[in-house]
Structure 1
Amino acid sequence: MLAKDKTNLKIEEIRMHKHHEIHRVKPLMPALCRIRQGKKVINWETHSLTVDNNQIILFPCGYEFYIANYPEAGLYLAEMLYYPIDLIEKFQKFYAITDQIRNTTGFCLPQNPELIYCWEQLKTSIFRGFSTQIQEHLAMGVLLSLGAHHVNCLLLSDSKQSLISRCYNLMLSEPGTKWTANKVARYLYISVSTLHRRLASEGISFQSILDDVRLNNALSAIQTTVKPISEIARENGYKCPSRFTERFHNRFKITPRELRKASRE
């Protein structure tokens, strides 16, 4: 049975001890990255940024990023804050956010005291298991601290409530499920032919979405947990570890073991 649709805020810590590069990373929901130590290089389309621990990176949906992480004094440390679709919808209802021309070079901004305050309070509320309402309130505070321009850049750079986003949201609830186009179409209350047609109009296939969800979710788990790689593979729909390693390497140009090794001192 699928998990009920609810806000699932999380701040994940990425702790690495060796330089590493990851290709074709695709955020499945809007995210913010706060560098605590070291630096990060990101490339997308024709743009490139080098970010240190005085800045916040915006990762909107709809883009593929090349990422390189560089430790400082033997440690790269960053925190990732992900924004679920339902929280974004609430924020847009509460605050007048209007669509603007996309600025695809504005994915970085300096940290400021309001942002850091809200971030730390949100992190505490998540770790201590405070109520959903408190967590959402603080998460919206983080968004407000970005300023209107950067909020637009983060939340509206991809089509709101696109079918792609709905598919991501559904599959992320249980990435290890044997998802088929027929099953997804039933959950979204559309015909399978409509699903394929509308995805084609958005420039993507069903299999590409499934691969995006499983591989990027596995990438996050390898970076932020100590679970065995074989377990991560199973949780993301790969029963054969060697098949998982092959698909992972083809996508990110690094093997799961190489990435896990970079996290060890």
Structure 2
Amino acid sequence: MLDEVFPIPTRALIRQGGRACFFRLVNTSPLLIQVQSGTKIVMADDKALRLEAGAYGLLPDYRPLTMENIPKAPQKYQTLALPVPRQLFEEAYTRMGSLAVPSRPVPAGTSKLPEEAAALFEYCCQPGNLTRLPGAIAKARLMELITWFALYGAVLGQCQSPRLEDRLRQMIESDTTFDWTLAHAARSFNMSEATLRRKLAAENTGFSEILSDTRMNRALGLIQTTTLPMAQVALEVGYDSPSQFAARFKERFGVNPRHVRGGSERFERIGAEVEHSGADALAR
């Protein structure tokens, strides 16, 4: 298996029944993706990246993005996503030597990869393939995949200074069912509650906002990638009441969670802008 610092990636198959646009979503890990059906539009810094079926892309970590997923009838929208630790990108780029790395992480795409690279992406996304390999070989396969993407124009930008908000999101993501409190977080970061509150305020956010948004991010992922009943999705993100969960989800994304999975004939813009600042959720 991979070294502990490089956890084995688990691919996600993202499906969506109706056209939808999600605002201000954030990945906590870079994602290598392939749009398999439909169209994906990703916006950052007022620039749009359009990925049609068959195209590959790279979505950066910790950048608020707007995602529009558009199905093409009669099929649902579908994208295959592979999270890869940032450390592997940085090591692969160092080995490439002369690669120009953008100063900021932005979405990047390539309409086509060579057959060998496409086969490698499919191999790395197949459950169990990487876990069966010696750690050094599995790491080498992922770095080769990163190199192929880079050679065809999809390069991950330089890491920005990590924020306390980002660290807090990672902690909450490790167990979204846990009853997290400000006190838990403060102890984890070896600081007082007042200090944590002050530092988050300096980043224009707060503990409750990050907790709720991280849970909604997880819920969105479960709805798009599983067939779990909505009541179970609610439990997975710390809500005992399905109705309370649905209300909070609709408040954040502007629509009932059942719509995301089932879709409708009419166009819906999901994810109305939230008032607070800061990154909001995992980009899908």
Q: With the length of structure 1 as denominator, give the TM-score of the two structures.
A: 0.81
Partner of 1:88: 86
Once the two structures are overlaid, the 10-residue window that deviates more, 48-57 or 232-241, is: 48-57
CA RMSD of aligned residues (A): 3.0
Cα separation, partners in 2 of 1:7 and 1:189, compared to 1, 3 Å: farther
> Shift of residue 20 of structure 1?
3.2
Partner of 1:176: 177
Distance across 2 between alignment mates of 1:126 and 1:10: 9
Partner of 1:78: 79
Distance across 2 between alignment mates of 1:81 and 1:28: 12
Partner of 2:124: 122
- Contact 1:14–1:224 at 8 Å: present in 2 too? yes
Opposite residue 183 of structure 2, the aligned amino acid is: N
Partner of 1:225: 226
Residue 143 (structure 2) aligned to one of 140, 143, 146? 140
SS at structure 1 position matched to 2:240: coil
> Shift of residue 171 of structure 1?
1.2
SS at structure 1 position matched to 2:171: helix
Distance across 1 between alignment mates of 2:80 and 2:67: 15
> Shift of residue 210 of structure 1?
1.2
Q: How many residues align?
A: 253
Q: Deviations over 1:98-150 (max 9, x none)?
A: 9742264x532333125423211212353674257254433322222222874
Q: Percent identity?
A: 26
The answer to which structure, 1 or 2, has the higher relative contact order (CA under 8 A, 6+ apart) is 2
Partner of 1:249: 250
Distance across 2 between alignment mates of 1:204 and 1:115: 41
Cα separation, partners in 2 of 1:239 and 1:98, compared to 1, 3 Å: farther
Partner of 1:36: 36
> Shift of residue 233 of structure 1?
0.8
Partner of 1:236: 237
Distance across 1 between alignment mates of 2:252 and 2:130: 36
Cα separation, partners in 2 of 1:38 and 1:92, compared to 1, 3 Å: same
Q: Deviations over 1:159-183 (max 9, x none)?
A: 3x43223222211110111111221
SS at structure 1 position matched to 2:205: coil
> Shift of residue 262 of structure 1?
2.7
Distance across 2 between alignment mates of 1:211 and 1:132: 39
Once the two structures are overlaid, the 10-residue window that deviates more, 133-142 or 174-183, is: 133-142
Opposite residue 152 of structure 1, the aligned amino acid is: L
Gaps of 5+ in 2: 265-284
> Shift of residue 232 of structure 1?
0.8
Distance across 2 between alignment mates of 1:237 and 1:5: 28
| Residue 163 of structure 1 pairs with residue 164 of structure 2 | yes
Distance across 1 between alignment mates of 2:34 and 2:258: 25
Cα separation, partners in 2 of 1:128 and 1:95, compared to 1, 3 Å: closer
> Shift of residue 215 of structure 1?
0.5
- Contact 2:12–2:225 at 8 Å: present in 1 too? yes
Q: Deviations over 1:183-215 (max 9, x none)?
A: 122223333333233333333322222122101
SS at structure 2 position matched to 1:57: strand
Cα separation, partners in 2 of 1:117 and 1:198, compared to 1, 3 Å: farther
- Contact 1:126–1:135 at 8 Å: present in 2 too? no
Q: Deviations over 1:65-105 (max 9, x none)?
A: 3333222341122111123xxx323553565289742264x
- Contact 2:216–2:237 at 8 Å: present in 1 too? yes
Distance across 2 between alignment mates of 1:226 and 1:117: 28
Partner of 1:49: 49
> Shift of residue 221 of structure 1?
0.4
Gaps of 5+ in 1: none
Partner of 2:68: 68
